[in-house]
Amino acid sequence: MQLTVVKTFVSRFLILILSFGLVIFSTNMWGSEGKGTISIVIANAAIVSFFSSIFAGSSTSYFASKFKTEQILVYSYIWSVIMGILIPVIFSFADIQADYLIHLIGISVFSALLSVNVNLFIGTRNIRLFNIYTVLQQLVHILFIGVFIFILDFKDVSAYFVAQICCLAFLFFTSFIQVIRKCKISEVSLSKKVFKSMFEYGWKTQLSAFVQFLNYRLSFYFLEHFEGIGSVGVFSIGITFSEAIWTITRSIAVVLYSDVVNSKSREESILKTKSSLKLSFLLMLIFLLGIIIIPGSVYEMIFGRAFRGTKEIMLLLSPGILAIAISDMIGYYFSGIKELRILNVKSIVGLVITVAFSFLLIPKYGILGACIVTTLSYSVSALLLFLKFYRSTDFKIQDYLITKEDIRLAREKLKKK
């Protein structure tokens, strides 16, 4: 597991760098309004993905070792296409960035199809291919943006979305070739048992994930309503930083989930979760300290004058970023053992806090109010999940402390590496 975590960590660190590069480029290329438009459209695509992921998400990973791949793919692919078209069309009636409906459909369909293949890699413990494709999603997207802007002179903000569609389509077809090589056409069949099992597991996990996502993104819509699209662009920098940092700890979480799903020992799963918690906590502290130390003038120099408040945004978001990094690890553990109720509870509580305090704080304090709401929501929902884990396992606060034995083992692993 340790070597796999190291490889996944390296891949996610590359994603972190690429994400920052893409954020810096997009803010300088299209300004705060352009960045706001990108943030809203991508948020809409993420909402669509939660419907698609009933079959295309963790359900694919969970049942990869339990059902035939051919049976899983039939339902996952069909569902991905239907949801990728249907949900954006429904969105268009709400007139939320409806001008980008075709782009949203393209992103949603190919993102879901690619997600099926990537989650299949997780479920079969092919973490190497998972790491490759997660890095390529950022790298190939950037390459396509470069082609459109600097070669084809296509500089409208929609170039961002067209480049993403091309990236996702290309990666889906390449990963599909790798998946289909191990499949037999004769094994493709419709099974009521497979459909029922995947749907039941999928909607339960996605309900929690969807509600949690609303905690992450609902502030965008409140800000657009009360402050305008430009404020969304400024605030989204802080959220993008948060999610970029989370890619590091989620690299550990993905490996943990794969191990828990395939583990037959609850005790072993708990030990691995504790170890993952300790490592995530340490990494988060290091990254957050780095962000806090950076002077505010540096953010303004990188992103432009419109983003001069980024330092204050990051300071206000920091406690919530740390809380989510820790709770994500526990969330993957509960998802892996099919204990899903607590995930729904913590997400719903966080959503209630987001909605209630957004109406109170965002109209009065604008972007800073959105930061306070976000951190409060993150922290309370994370606390609920942590308390559940604390009460259901033999867990002590000392489990967070780095011991001499941990240092010794880390040195041994680095020497072997």
Residue-wise DSSP of 224-246 = HHHH-HHHHHHHHHHHHHHHHHH
| Strand, helix or coil for residue 191 | coil
The per-residue pLDDT for range 18-46, each reduced to its tens digit, is 877 787 788 888 887 888 888 888 888 98
Q: Are 212 and 381 in contact (CB under 8 A)?
A: yes
Distances (CA, A) of 208 to 188, 193, 205, 211: 31, 23, 6, 5
Task: Identify which of 291, 377, 281, 289 has the alpha carbon closest to the alpha carbon of residue 326.
Answer: 281
Distances (CA, A) of 221 to 232, 316, 351: 8, 19, 14
Paired tokens of 321: 């970023």
Cβ count within 10 A of residue 151: 8
Query: What pLDDT does 78 receive?
Result: 92
The per-residue pLDDT for range 1-16, each reduced to its tens digit, is 445 555 555 666 677 6
Angle at which helix 158-180 crosses helix 101-123, to 10 degrees, equals 30
Query: What pLDDT does 97 receive?
Result: 57
Between 411 and 14, the more confident residue is 14
Between 349 and 340, the more confident residue is 349
The per-residue pLDDT for range 232-263, each reduced to its tens digit, is 777 877 777 777 777 777 767 767 766 776 77
Between 197 and 230, the more confident residue is 197
Query: What pLDDT does 275 receive?
Result: 73
Amino acid code (one letter) for 7: K
Confidence of residue 126 (pLDDT cuts 50, 70, 90): confident
Residue 404 has pLDDT above 50, yes or no: yes
Length of the chain: 417
149 vs 129: CA distance, rounded Å: 30
Highest mean pLDDT out of 202-206, 342-346, 350-354, 407-411? 350-354
User: Could you give the count of Cα atoms lying within 13 Å of 217 in the half-sphere of its Cβ?
Assistant: 18
Q: What mean pLDDT, rounded, does the chain reach?
A: 80
Query: What pLDDT does 416 receive?
Result: 42
User: Could you give the count of Cα atoms lying within 13 Å of 395 in the half-sphere of its Cβ?
Assistant: 19
176 vs 178: CA distance, rounded Å: 5
Angle at which helix 229-262 crosses helix 2-56, to 10 degrees, equals 110
Residue 417 has pLDDT above 60, yes or no: no
The percentage of residues in the chain with a pLDDT greater than 70, rounded to a whole number, is 86
Residue-wise DSSP of 69-96 = HHHHHHHHHHHHHHHHHHHHHHHHTTTS
Query: What pLDDT does 148 receive?
Result: 94
The per-residue pLDDT for range 59-107, each reduced to its tens digit, is 888 787 787 878 888 888 999 999 999 999 888 876 665 688 899 999 9
Query: What pLDDT does 401 receive?
Result: 62
Query: What pLDDT does 415 receive?
Result: 46
Amino acid code (one letter) for 281: F
Give 414: exposed, middle or buried? Use CB within 10 Å, 0-12, 13-18, 19+.
exposed
Task: Identify which of 19, 7, 34, 50 has the alpha carbon closest to the alpha carbon of residue 243.
Answer: 19
